[in-house]
Amino acid sequence: MEVVYTHCCGLDVHKKNVVACVITPEGKEIRTFSTMTDDLISMVDWLKTKGCTHVAMES
């Protein structure tokens, strides 16, 4: 059985920023956020608005 996630995100974590790539049926969008708490909360809010259900992280 193959599972395909339609609303997912890949995170590339660095010391001072996080690059997030969201893929949805509408397309791909990439944004960069700092690692400060307020910006990380903004990233989570953005992922929620995109309907993101799964996240994979590389650091």
- Which domain covers residue 19, as residue numbers? 1-32
Instruction: Give the Cα separation of 36 and 49 in Å (integer).
Output: 20
Residue 48 domain-assigned?
Answer: no
Q: Mind spelling out the 3-state secondary structure of 16-47?
A: CEEEEEEEECCEEEEEEEECCHHHHHHHHHHH
**Predicted model pTM:** 0.89
Q: What is the pLDDT of residues 10-41, one digit of tens each?
A: 999 999 999 999 999 999 999 999 999 999 99
Residue 4 domain-assigned?
Answer: yes
Residue 37 domain-assigned?
Answer: no
Residue 57 domain-assigned?
Answer: no
Q: Locate tokens 């996240």: which residue?
A: 55
Check whether 53 has a pLDDT greater than 90. Answer: yes
- Give the model's confidence band at 1: pLDDT under 50 very low, under 70 low, under 90 confident, else very high: confident
Of residues 59 and 32, which shows the higher confidence score? 32
Check whether 3 has a pLDDT greater than 90. Answer: no
| Number of separate domains in the chain | 1
